[in-house]
Amino acid sequence: MTFRYLGVAAMLLILYCIIETVTSHRTNLTFPAIIVFGDSIVDPGNNNYLKTIARCDFPPYGRDLAGGKPTGRFSNGKIAPDFAAEIFGIKDLIPPYLDPNLKIEDLVTGVSFASGGAGYDPITANFGPAFSLSDQLDMFRQYLSKIKSAAGEEKAAHILSQGLFMVVVGSNDISNTYYGTPIRNSKYDTNSYTDFITGYASSFLQELYEIGARKMAVFGAPPIGCVPSQRTIYGGIERECSDKENKLALLFNSKLHSVIDRLNRQFSDSKIVYVDVYYSLLSIIQNAAQYGFEVTTKGCCGTGSIEVTVLCNSLKIGYSCPDASKYIFWDSFHPTERTYEILTREILQKYQNNFI
């Protein structure tokens, strides 16, 4: 009997040691701030302060946010940086840098410089127009000056070295610039164009590194050919995914991944992580029912086939779906809040250890 109890005690001791060993290697990852660059996927309202048609500071955008008011987010509610900030316990929403009401406490925990319509290709931002990546870097430098003046050099250095820098751009280069106009596809084939824009991506990331950023999450292009507007334009009567756009997205992603691998070798004190969103979103589209979605090929706003930005307006409120959570897409180009939440949680679970 005594030996039996000793055996149980020994087993409990061993189990305790195992648990201690496992938990001692866990890291409750967090960041002091989230800084965002990119396009409409991560623009929380910077385009509100720009004369452009690429804006959404009007209903029914934002209808499912607290208060139900449009903020300039290209969705019915929160977007990916908001969920990331919430998950990491930083704050509820990542604000647009250009919001004139921001206080220093808002700035030090992170802002977005993203602008709907931006791209790696320097001419992409002209179509909106939008704030280009070069404009966004200029705003970031202004931001750092404000932080240094109000909170000190040490705080600014901490944000640079420990903050999470999200870079989400590329979709507009594919859908708007390359396939939407003859400006680039008359001069470049898909191989040379992806070389062209990944060259700009490399320059942007190097410049961000030189400013001081050390932890970057760089998102690849999504299956842009499967968003409702591209199905409508290129998908035929059945509104299938646009194969040519998806192939270009995959080619771009492959080259972007290679660029990031090279930069990680070059900058050994940084952690630049390539984030695959292509297959993550495609999985949701192809397995919609498993996620509780009912509509995969149309957006919630209006007919859901072509409405986006100014075409998704207050006149469409009565024609929009009653429950956006059943839809993968909010308008013909951008996901719903629920899709953003699912994607953000899956991506953070998959990639957060890359920053440890």
Catalytic residue list: 40, 331, 334
Count of residues for the chain?
A: 356
How much is the CA Rg of the chain, to the nearest whole Å? 22
Residue type, 131: F
Q: Strands 164-168, 34-38: parallel, antiparallel or unpaired by DSSP?
A: parallel
Buried b (16+ CB within 10 A) or exposed e, 190-214: beebbebbbebbbebbeebbeeebb
Query: Rounded to the nearest 10 degrees, how much is the dihedral formed by the CA atoms of 322, 239, 311, 60?
Result: 20
Give me the residue label for tokens 């647009």.
Answer: 96
Residue 219 CB neighbour total at 10 angstroms: 25
Displacement of CA 15 from its chain's centroid (Å):
41
d(CA 187, CA 36): 32
Structure tokens at 19: 């648990």
d(CA 346, CA 272): 19
User: Strand ranges (DSSP E) for the chain?
Assistant: 34-38, 164-168, 215-219, 271-275, 295-299, 327-329
